[in-house]
Structure formats: structure tokens, C-alpha cells
A = this chain, B = another copy of it.
Amino acid sequence: MQEPAARSGDGGLLRYRLDIRYDGTGFSGWARQPGRRTVQGELEAALSVVTRLPAALTVAGRTDAGVHATGQVAHLDVPPDALAPEQLVHRLARLLAPDLRVPAVRRVPSSFDARFSALRRHYRYRVCDAPWGVDPLRRYDTLAHYRPLDETAMNTASTLLLGEHDFAAFCRHRAGASTIRALERLEWIRDEPHMLAAHVAADAFCHSMVRSLVGALLAVGEGRRRPDWPASLLHSTTRTSEITVAAPHGLTLVAVDYPADDQLAARAQQTRALRSLAH
């Protein structure tokens, strides 16, 4: 299978951007894996049916098993005689299962790279702290915590984590990959009496970083840890076992930001230089 990087420079190919939504419950995550149902696998199979060519997607955020998306972004290169973007939306709507949808396809400049052009990723983590559990209609994307959470303490702790830090303590290590990230937003908002959501944004996240941050902050919200504890872990250069990684089903990738078209290439170059193996 060709790598998209090798094809993107081909003069004849068009680049399409896909906006993607999925319920992660029935998927073993984004990344294609033999013998498992994954978002990339399902989507590439459907695209191959439509375009009659092997399809290789490059994605903004490689979500783990059980993690959802309402604002995932990927790109794909297609031959000049491929279906128009609107037709592709209609064909995919019929081909894909209801837990995987493609709300929009549009042609983008060949300098658009869903992964490396991204300025930042936005995630949301939903927690219900009611003693009776979680609203049945939101149980697929909301953690049932059962015990009351102090969001004031959680926001105090969250503020101390903002900025550019080495998040090694919160990341599953990958060889050669930097764990330095710029955390731009980490804020807990209580929308309803028992419904809390963490709104998280960073230039990028290392593996399991959002769920580790949430796990550490839940310990603060319960009163088991002090608000300065999560930030104290930033001094660590390796992953800590003191943090319980929060369950995947509370997490949703809600948006990915990109620069204006004339900044796409410069942004991609800058990102590749900073963290060639991170995502």
C-alpha cells in the first residue's frame, strides 16, 4: 500500500479533506489493524469501493479504542477523475455503518496535511458525578463517577498545567518522540447539576495524555490529591504509575484547527521539524 506522503506531490492527484464523526464504542480505535474493526479500516475500505483504488488516509488524531470523534479530520489523494466531494459524501453515507459518518468532503490545496498542518486539537472529556450513575442516553460518551467532584479544585489544578511543558509523566512513551507539548486550554465546565466536561486543547497530544490528565484531575476533584499535585508531576521525565488513566469512552475529539491556506505548508514544515515521530 502506498504511503500518502509519496503520492501527495504527484501533479495529477487531487487532495480531499474529510470531516469525520464516530461513536468509538464499536471500534478498536482509529488505526488500521489486521482482523479488527477500526475507523481507518472501515473508512479506507469504503473509499476503495467508491474510488476503485487503494485508499490511504492521513489523520489529525489517532484516537484509541473506545474514544469518539465529532470533529476528526483526515486527508486522501484521489485521481483527477474521482467523484466530486459532494457525491463522495452521499456514497459514503450509504456505504458506512451508522456509527461512522463523513459530514463533509472538500478539495484542499496539496499543501494541506491533516496531521502536520494542524495548529491544535480540541478534546472534550465528559464525567457525570451523580450517585445514581449517568443519563442512559449519554452513557456511551460519559464516564459515570458516582462520587461528587469539586470542579473549583479541578480548575485550580488545571490552570497550573497550562503552557509548554514536558508531559512525560502523562504519556505512554514512544521511541524518538518528544513529550513536550503546549497545553492551551484545560477547563472544567459544569453544564448541568451532575454533568462536568473538561475542555482540552493543545498543539498536539502524546499517547493517552488527555486521559492521564483527566485521571489526575479526578483524584483532585475527589479530594484524594491536592490541586498542586498534577503540576508537580511535570518535573518527571518518565510516565508515572500514580495516575489512573481515565476510561476511553468519556473522551471525544471535537475539533482540529488549521491555518489559512497560504500558511499550510509553513506550518507542516514547522511541525515536522519539532516532533517528527509524535502525533
Interfacial residues, chain A to chain B (CB-CB below 8 A)? 21-23, 68, 70, 89-90, 92-93, 98-104, 130-137, 139-141, 144, 146, 252
Contacts and interface: CB of A to CB of B under 8 A. Distances in A.
B93 A133 contact: yes
A101 B136 contact: yes
Contacts of A132: 89-90, 92-93, 101-104
A251 to B, nearest CB: 12
A90 B131 contact: yes
B136 A21 contact: yes
Copies in the complex: 2
Give me the 8 closest cross-chain CB pairs, A-B, nearest first.
A23-B136, A99-B136, A93-B132, A103-B132, A98-B139, A101-B133, A23-B137, A93-B133
Helix, strand, loop or mixed for chain A's interface?
mixed
Contacts of A68: 136-137
A240 B23 CA distance: 38
A90, A101, A135, A137 — which one has the most chain B CB atoms within 10 A of its CB? Answer: A137
Contacts of A98: 133-134, 136, 139, 144
A137 B141 contact: yes
Nearest to A96: B133
12 contacts: A21-B135, A23-B137, A70-B135, A70-B137, A89-B131, A90-B132, A93-B132, A98-B139, A98-B144, A100-B136, A137-B140, A137-B252
